[in-house]
């Protein structure tokens, strides 16, 4: 993704365990809150598990077609309402056919499918309010297109944990190609039993709240979230500088141990942005708190960035939000640039000696210079890797 014509993030909308809007999220993110990490007894078949849960009251979808009535779409609408004014302003400049909607998700409305299946096992029939289309991957983008009254390009990307990071690159390519003028990008995923039990079966879930990069880490917490951004050539304070993608295909679920794919994505992002490693002030790590991911990413970051920018994983704040993770975490970078503040690394500070020493953000970390550029990593099953760089616009 590279073009001499700059693209800008005109606004963002957020809903995640830290809050129901961007300002509330920022307040809790920078203060190191873990208020949304909740112990649930109803998601695993045989155990309790910590998850990142949204506690905000969500928009009511009663009156919409039943295949759009899902918690996933409630989260999505909560995020969209925060960017709606920006979209409406851009509608005055561009026809609705020139807007694209490109979202990432991994489970869509599968939670409603789980409820319906339980009902069918008890009553031998699905409930009247269930429509199988609620769990199709395309559902959130179709819902948003209908709600926003946009009739341009609509699609969903589902590449596990890199899904919503890829939406930024796909949208940029379409704008640069002249196919659309404005893109609504991001991702959404809601909690469901299938995902939590799946990661538990892989022995990847943490017994407590996750502990990224610690010697004592034992796995992830699944979370739920929605994150949206408006991309266009309309100038604003924060620019989408570039993205990098790679697919090392090392293993179906394990990352390349030396982080070869991660390195390639970060280097490509830097090259496409016309930046050097020294230009990056902060990196939001993928930082899942699983042994192999954190070790691999630490090696990759230390190799590509010997200048030691600030780094942190924000999974301890919201959990791993899967299809929404990439967009959520680049939004955290957006908030960092906007507020000139750093999201702290929430962990026990017992560093794993197998991970190279990195410049962790702590509660006492101070910026010696203003933040200019931030990078966010998203790494997915199958070795699908994405790095995004955003930065302040310079006059």
Determine whether 320 is an active site residue: yes
List, in order, residues 6 or more apart from 384 with CB less than 8 Å away.
159, 160, 162, 247
Q: Which of 241, 320, 333, 374 is catalytic?
A: 320
Are residues 139 and 224 in contact, defined by beta-carbon separation less than 8 angstroms? Answer: no
Identify which of 293, 319, 79, 76 has the alpha carbon closest to the alpha carbon of residue 196.
319
State the Cα angle at 12 between 343 and 297, rounded to 5°: 40
Q: What is the C-alpha to C-alpha distance for residues 163 and 327, in angstroms, rounded to an integer?
A: 9
Determine whether 119 is an active site residue: no
Q: What is the C-alpha to C-alpha distance for residues 299 and 377, in angstroms, rounded to an integer?
A: 14
> Residue 41: is it exposed, middle or buried by C-beta count within 10 angstroms (0-12/13-18/19+)?
exposed
Q: Which of 15, 67, 192, 286 is catalytic?
A: 286
| Helix 110-123 vs helix 71-80: crossing angle, to nearest 10 | 160
The pairing of strands 310-312 and 282-284 is parallel
Are residues 253 and 292 in contact, defined by beta-carbon separation less than 8 angstroms? Answer: no
Q: Which of 15, 67, 161, 210 is catalytic?
A: 161
Q: Report how far apart, in Å, the C-alpha atoms of 391 and of each of 187, 237, 331 are.
A: 21, 9, 12
For residues 75-110, one letter each, b for 16 or more C-beta atoms within 10 angstroms of the residue's C-beta and e for the rest, the string is bbbbbbbbbbebbeebbeeeeeebbbbbbbbbbbbb
Residue 214, strand partner residues: 351
Catalytic sites, residue numbers: 161, 286, 320
């Amino acid at each position: 993704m590279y073009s001499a014509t700059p693209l800008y993030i005109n606004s963002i909308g957020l809903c995640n365990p830290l809050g129901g809007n961007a300002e509330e999220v920022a307040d809790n993110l920078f203060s190191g809150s873990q208020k949304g990490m909740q112990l649930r007894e109803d998601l695993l078949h045989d155990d309790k598990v910590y998850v990142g849960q949204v506690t905000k009251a969500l928009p009511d979808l009663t009156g919409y077609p039943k295949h759009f009535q899902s918690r996933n779409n409630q989260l999505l609408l909560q995020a969209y309402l925060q960017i709606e004014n920006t979209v409406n302003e851009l509608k005055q400049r561009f026809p609705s056919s020139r807007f694209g909607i490109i979202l990432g998700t991994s489970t869509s409305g599968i939670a409603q499918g789980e409820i319906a299946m339980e009902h069918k096992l008890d009553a031998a029939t699905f409930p009247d309010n269930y429509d199988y289309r609620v769990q199709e991957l395309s559902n959130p983008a179709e819902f948003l297109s209908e709600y926003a009254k946009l009739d341009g390009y609509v699609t969903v990307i589902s590449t596990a944990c890199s899904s919503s990071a890829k939406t930024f690159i796909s949208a940029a390519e379409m704008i640069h190609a002249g196919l659309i003028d404005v893109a609504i990008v991001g991702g959404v995923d809601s909690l469901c039993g299938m995902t939590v039990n799946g990661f538990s079966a892989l022995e990847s879930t943490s017994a407590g709240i996750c502990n990224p990069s610690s010697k004592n880490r034992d796995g992830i917490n699944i979370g739920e979230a929605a994150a949206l951004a408006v991309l266009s050539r309309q100038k604003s304070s924060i620019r989408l500088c570039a993205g990098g993608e790679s697919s090392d295909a090392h293993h179906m679920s394990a990352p390349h141990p030396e982080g070869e794919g991660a390195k390639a994505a970060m280097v490509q992002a830097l090259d496409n942005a016309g930046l050097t490693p020294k230009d990056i002030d902060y990196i939001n790590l993928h930082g899942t708190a699983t042994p192999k991911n954190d070790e691999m990413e630490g090696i990759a970051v230390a190799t590509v960035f010997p200048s030691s920018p600030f780094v942190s994983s924000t999974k301890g704040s919201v959990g791993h939000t899967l299809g929404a993770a990439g967009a959520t975490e680049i939004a955290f970078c957006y908030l960092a640039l906007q507020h000139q503040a750093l999201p702290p690394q929430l962990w026990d500070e017992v560093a794993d000696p197998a991970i190279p020493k990195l410049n962790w953000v702590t509660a006492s970390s101070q910026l010696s210079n203003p933040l200019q550029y931030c990078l966010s990593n998203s790494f997915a099953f199958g070795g699908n890797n994405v790095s995004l760089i955003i930065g302040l616009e310079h006059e």
